[in-house]
Amino acid sequence: MNRIVPSLIVFLILLACLPAFAQDSVRQTPPDSLQAIDPDSVVISKDGKVETIESYASRYDPRKAMLYSAVFPGLGQAYNRKYWKIPLVYGGFAGIGYAISWNQERYLFYRKGLFGLLNEPLNPVANPETGLTDLGNRVIGNEAFLPVGPNSLKADIVRNQVNKFRRDRDFAVIMCFIFYMMQMVDAHVDAHLKEFDLNPQLKVSIEPTMNQNAFTGRTTGFGLTLKF
């Protein structure tokens, strides 16, 4: 009895240490087939051998796609082979750029006109030949007005126009930055979605349908059918 108890204790200690020894042996001597497995690859077992299949998504790096779009807008879409998005990218930049340019021109026009009205003397005098002052303003009732086509604008209205076009210009600049970031995000997301392959058996068709209902009776029509 005295000999059995120490032997049993030693046996239990060795039994508890076996998993640790097994883990250490696996870490120290990994199989050659498991030493270099790409995390973007699919590992399968065939006939007792480990084989690595390159994933479709590994050919598209999301960070690289976003970097390309950051350096040159639209290049990330070309990297993802989404060529139809490139005209949308440049069309968006062209539209926003036109909005910035147009609001900037109107802002400068009214800004210059406002300075001209503020620099007029208290009792401005118009040139009899042109009907305008030396600063190019109209005089109506001893008060200067900014001529804009057939209209004559007071200083308060001109000041409101200056603020309006400056605000619209700044908003367009912000929208340009947001659009720039969006096309980067689009390239990044597209590269990520490359790993989801579309089922080649997926089919969408429109087929005639017929339904029988206790309340409405028999109804016929067309339905959208998905097969996969």
Amino acid at 149: G
- pLDDT value of position 24: 46
CA dihedral 31, 35, 39, 40 (to 10 degrees): -90
- pLDDT value of position 49: 54
- pLDDT value of position 26: 39
User: Distance between CA 16 and CA 38 in Å, rounded?
Assistant: 34
Helical (H) or strand (E) element with 114: helix 86-118
* 166: number of Cβ within 10 Å: 17
CA distances, 31 to each of 23, 72, 173 (Å): 13, 45, 58
- pLDDT value of position 101: 96
| 10-residue mean pLDDT series, the chain (228 residues) | 51 48 44 46 51 56 91 93 92 96 96 91 83 86 87 92 96 96 93 66 69 73 68
Q: Is 130 exposed, middle or buried (0-12, 13-18, 19+ CB in 10 A)?
A: exposed
- pLDDT value of position 103: 97
> pTM value?
0.60
Taking a C-beta distance cutoff of 8 angstroms, is the pair 34, 50 a contact? yes
- pLDDT value of position 1: 47
Q: Which two tokens stand for residue 25?
A: 């042996």
